[in-house]
Amino acid sequence: MNDVWQANWSMMTPEWIVLAAAVVLLLIDLAMPKERSRRPLAWGAAAAAVVALAVTAAMIPAEPVSILHDTFRLDGFAKAFKLILLAGGALALLLVAEWEPKEGGRYRGEFVYMMLFALLGAMMVASSGDLLTLFVSIELLTVSSYILAGLRKTATASNEAALKYVINGGIATAIMLFGMSYVFGLTGTTNLGDMARRLQETNETYMLALAFLLLLIGVSFKLATVPFHMWAPDVYEGAPVPATAFFSVVSKTAGFVLLLRLFVTMFAAAPAEGRDPSSLLLSMQPVIAVLAGLTMIIGNVVALRQRSLKRLLAYSSIAHAGYLLAGFAAMSWTMIDSLWIYLLAYVFMNIGAFAIVAHIVNETGSDDLAGLAGLYRHRPLLAAALGLFLLSLAGIPGTAGFIAKLYLFIGLVVTEPGHYVLAAVMAITTVISYVYYFNLLVQLFFRPASLAPLRRLPAGLSTAVVLCALGTLAVGWAPGLAYDVLAQFGHFGDFLP
C-alpha cells in the first residue's frame, strides 16, 4: 500500500488527462438534452489529446522511471510512441466532430469518449512493464474498438463489422493468452524484465518456441497481417469512417508497440534449440519474414480489385502492416527508429486520406471510387491534398511515405546477412501499389465529374487535412526534423527493463 501512496503519479499525467476528459465528456453527454449537437464534445476531446501530447513532449528530457514494481514505465520508447498515438488520436477525433451518420448524429457523444478510452489503452500499452498491465491495456483498446465499430446501431454493415471484430478479436485474445500462460509457467513471474532474465536460463526451448508462435499469432490478428487479416476489410468497410481511421493508425501503432514490448524484451536473449543462433528471436526471423512477405503481396494484389474506397484503404493498410513487419523481421540496429519514422509518416498520410474519404461518404452516401471522379474540376485544393496523401502512401519521392519506406529498405540490406529477398518483395509490391494508387489519381484529375459538386470541407476535416498535409510534406522534405525529435529519446538504450 505504501508503494501506491509514494509512487510518482505525475509521470502518468498524459494518461490522467485522457482519462479525465473521457469521464467528464461522458457525464456531460448524459446530462445534455438529446436534441443538442455533440460536436463540441469532439472538439473538447481533440483538445484534451493535444494537451496530453504537449505534456508528453515536455517529459522528453526526463530520465526513465517506473512505478508500482515496474508495471508502468516512462522510458524513451514509451514517450516516443505516445507522441504518435496522441497525434493520431487527436486527428481522428477531428473527423468525429464532422461525422454525420445517415440516422442522425445521436451517437457522436458515445463515439467521443469511447475513442478516448481506446486511446488510453493504447498509451498504457506503450508504458507497460508487466504482462498483466500489457494485456489489460491492449484489451481496453480492443473492447473500445468493438464498440466504435458497431456504433451505428441501426446499420446492418456496422453491426456486421462489430460482430466480425468481436469474434476475431476474441480468438486473437484467447491465442495470445495461451502463449502468455506458457511464458508465465516457464518463468513464474509476469514482470517483463524478470521474464527476460529467467528465460535466458530456461532449458525448455521447445515450449518457449511454442509460446513464441502463439503470441505471434495473437499479435498478428491484431495487426491484420496475412493470414490473419480477413476481418480487416469487412470491419473497415462497415465501421464509421472516423473509427476506420482510428483503427488503421492508432490501433496499428499500438499493435506494433505490443510486438516490440513483448518480443524484443522477452525473446531477444532467450535461447534457441541448439543455441545457433543463440537467440530465439533471431531463430524465428524466417517465420516473421515469410509473414511480412505474404502480407505485402496479398495486401497489394487484392487491393487492385477493390471498388470501395474503404476496402481499398483497408487492403492498403494490410500492405503497410507488411512493410512494418518486414522492418521488424530485419532486426537491424535501426529497427525501432525506422518503425517510429514509418508510423509517424503513416499517421499523417492515412488520416489525411480518410478525412477526405469521410467527406465524400458524408456527401454522396457511398464510398465507391466513382465519388472521386472529376473532383479536381470543382474542388482542386481538395483533390490536390488527396493526391498528396496517395502519392505518400505509394512512396513517391518528396513525400513522407518515401522517406519511411527508404529507412525500412535500408534496414533490410544493411544487416549481416542482408534480407535481400524481403527487400526485393518490398520493392516489387511497392510498384504494384502504384497501380491502384495511380488509378485513384486518374479518377481525381482525368475523369469527368459524375456527381454533383461537393460542399466545402467542414472545419474539423479542414483542420485535419491541413495538419496532415503539412506533416506529410515536412517529413518528406525535411526528414532531419523527425530524426532530431527522435534523437531526443536517445537510442532506446532504456528499452529493455
One DSSP character per residue, 286-309 reads HHHHHHHHHHHHHHHHHHTT--BH
Rounded CA gap, 81 and 258, in Å? 11
> What cell does 144 get?
473500445
Rounded CA gap, 189 and 458, in Å? 52
**234 and 333 belong to one structural domain:** no
Name the H helices within 101-230.
Answer: 108-127, 131-149, 156-187, 192-199, 205-223
pLDDT of 33 reads 80
DSSP one-letter code for 477 = H
- Residue by residue, pLDDT tens for the chain (497 residues) are 445 555 667 788 899 999 999 999 989 888 888 777 778 888 899 999 999 999 998 888 877 777 777 788 888 888 889 999 999 999 999 888 877 766 555 566 788 889 999 999 999 998 888 888 999 999 999 999 988 888 877 778 788 888 888 888 888 889 999 999 998 888 888 888 888 888 887 777 788 888 889 999 989 988 888 888 888 888 888 888 888 889 889 999 999 999 988 888 888 777 776 555 567 888 888 899 999 999 999 999 999 988 888 889 889 999 999 999 999 988 877 788 889 999 999 999 999 998 888 888 777 777 777 778 777 887 888 889 999 999 999 989 888 989 999 989 988 888 877 788 999 999 999 999 999 999 888 888 887 766 666 677 788 888 888 999 999 999 888 887 777 777 776 655 555 44
**246 and 336 belong to one structural domain:** no
> What cell does 72 get?
508502468
Domain end point (choices 261, 276, 300): 261
pLDDT of 55 reads 92
Phi first, then psi, for residue 130 (nearest 5°) are: -140, 150
Rounded CA gap, 60 and 354, in Å? 30
Range(s) of the domain holding residue 366: 285-497
pLDDT of 451 reads 64
**257 and 289 belong to one structural domain:** no
Nearest partner of 239 among 371, 354, 321, judged by Cα:
354
Rounded CA gap, 53 and 37, in Å? 26
Q: Which residues pair with 485 in a beta bridge?
A: none
**257 and 291 belong to one structural domain:** no
What residues contact residue 459 under an 8 Å CB cut-off, 6+ apart?
A: 97, 98
> What cell does 454 get?
461537393
**242 and 320 belong to one structural domain:** no
Amino acid found at 197: R
Q: Burial code of 255-266, b = ≥16 C-beta within 10 A, e = fewer?
A: bbbbbbbbbbbb
The answer to whether 15 touches 120, Cβ cutoff 8 Å, is yes
**306 and 373 belong to one structural domain:** yes
Is residue 104 one of the residues assigned to a domain?
yes
Is residue 414 one of the residues assigned to a domain?
yes
Is residue 191 one of the residues assigned to a domain?
no
Q: How many CA atoms lie within 13 A of 355 on its CB side?
A: 34
Rounded CA gap, 191 and 176, in Å? 17
- Dihedral of the alpha carbons of 289, 293, 294, 298, in degrees to the nearest 10: 160
Is residue 212 one of the residues assigned to a domain?
no
> What cell does 352 get?
489525411
Helix (H/G/I), strand (E/B), else coil: 88: helix
Is residue 216 one of the residues assigned to a domain?
no
**391 and 436 belong to one structural domain:** yes
**378 and 257 belong to one structural domain:** no
**289 and 257 belong to one structural domain:** no
Q: How many CA atoms lie within 13 A of 109 on its CB side?
A: 17
The answer to whether 263 touches 192, Cβ cutoff 8 Å, is no
Amino acid found at 226: V
Helix (H), strand (E) at residue 66:
strand 65-67
The answer to whether 494 touches 76, Cβ cutoff 8 Å, is yes
Q: Computed from CA positions of residues 214, 218, 223, 226, in that sequence, does the dihedral angle turn out positive or negative? A: positive
**157 and 52 belong to one structural domain:** yes
The answer to whether 141 touches 122, Cβ cutoff 8 Å, is yes
Is residue 1 one of the residues assigned to a domain?
yes
Nearest partner of 288 among 204, 195, 230, 220, judged by Cα:
220
pLDDT of 78 reads 87
Is residue 474 one of the residues assigned to a domain?
yes
Is residue 301 one of the residues assigned to a domain?
yes
**251 and 296 belong to one structural domain:** no
pLDDT of 497 reads 46
Number of domains in the chain: 2
The answer to whether 390 touches 126, Cβ cutoff 8 Å, is no
* Angle, alpha carbons 218-340-419 (nearest 5°): 75
Helix (H/G/I), strand (E/B), else coil: 200: coil
Amino acid found at 131: L
**153 and 56 belong to one structural domain:** yes
Nearest partner of 24 among 11, 40, 10, judged by Cα:
40
> What cell does 114 get?
469511447
Max CA distance (Å), the chain: 70
